[in-house]
Amino acid sequence: MTQNENVVTRNLKMIVEYNGANYHGWQRQNDMMTVQRVLEEAIGIITREEIRLIGAGRTDAGVHAVNQAANFKTGSKIEETKLLKGINSLLPKDVVLKQLAEAAETFHARHDARSKVYLYQIYNRPIRPVMYKDYAWFLRNFLDIDRMKESLLLLMGTHDFSSFSAADKEIKNRIRTVMDVDVKASRCGMVRIYIEANGFLRYMVRNIVGTLVDVGKGKLTPAEFIDLMEAKDRRRAGLTAPPHGLFLMEVKY
């Protein structure tokens, strides 16, 4: 049933973790399996309502999330702990509800977000990984991590990220503010690239990573990297990194 206007509703905020490999992204699409769809269906069964989730980030097909935030309104009186357990009992193994709590009536998971933190993983070793194959981009050629970090730091601040966005004519404003970045390399060969910004354009992180890889391979200098960004021309940037290495790590409010 749909929510009755006379019923007192609660606005519930949730934190969700999911493996995006089997989904066509977060956002509900006709006849497509999406994370939003499986969550709405599970919640609807428990609450006996038609649920519409608002997600903080619209992750693309194949992209994962460790802490995706979302909210929905419900007239159900089921206590949050019981509701969380009930929803999780109906979810597939690659999606789990980690937290569920009542939020302010006006809370909006997307509009109220101050920033989001994304992680991209690259496995940089001569031999392909087995354990990490679904969670990192495998690149066997040596990457110069110091040059990649030097280039990434140049993205700090407010810029027009047209060079790193999808070619979508409907997007009028491509200016975003990058608040924090980092590149870390472990002894096992995993390279982790972190980017925090007040908002992200579609494919922005993956396009940045693809271009950083060109820097790491010596195809671009850090100076050329920033020149490329300032050109506001997607055709000059590197390839789009594959989705399976990307994780939405945190949404900050």
Which of the four pLDDT bands, split at 50, 70 and 90, describes residue 193?
very high
Helix H or strand E encompassing 225 = helix 222-231
The pLDDT of residue 167: 75
Calculate mean pLDDT across residues 143-169: 93
Q: How far apart are CA 59 and CA 72, in angstroms?
A: 18
The residue among 46, 30, 32, 24 whose CA lies nearest residue 91 is 46
Q: Where in the chain is the domain with CATH 3.30.70.580?
A: 8-100
Is residue 94 annotated as part of the catalytic site, yes or no?
no
Top-level class of domain 8-100: alpha beta
What CA–CA distances, in Å, run from 178 to 131, 152, 246, 251? Answer: 31, 10, 17, 14
Overall average pLDDT of the 241-249 stretch: 98
Quick: pLDDT tens for 80-139: 999 999 999 999 999 999 999 999 999 999 999 999 999 999 999 999 999 999 999 999
pLDDT tier for residue 5 given thresholds of 50, 70 and 90: low
The structure's pTM equals 0.94
Tell me, what's the pLDDT at 172? Answer: 75
pLDDT of the residue at 3: 52
Of 60, 134, 146, 182, the catalytic one is 60
Q: Report the CATH fold assignment for 113-250.
A: Alpha-Beta Plaits (3.30.70)
Amino acid 169: pLDDT? 66
Two tokens, residue 167: 């070619």
CA 142 to chain centre: 27
pLDDT at residue 171, rounded to an integer: 74
Q: Where does CATH 3.30.70.660 sit in the chain? A: 113-250
pLDDT tens sequence across 210-229:
999 999 999 999 999 999 99
For residue 73, give the H/E element and its range. strand 64-74
Tokens of 235: 């055709």
Contact 68, 248 (CB under 8 A): yes
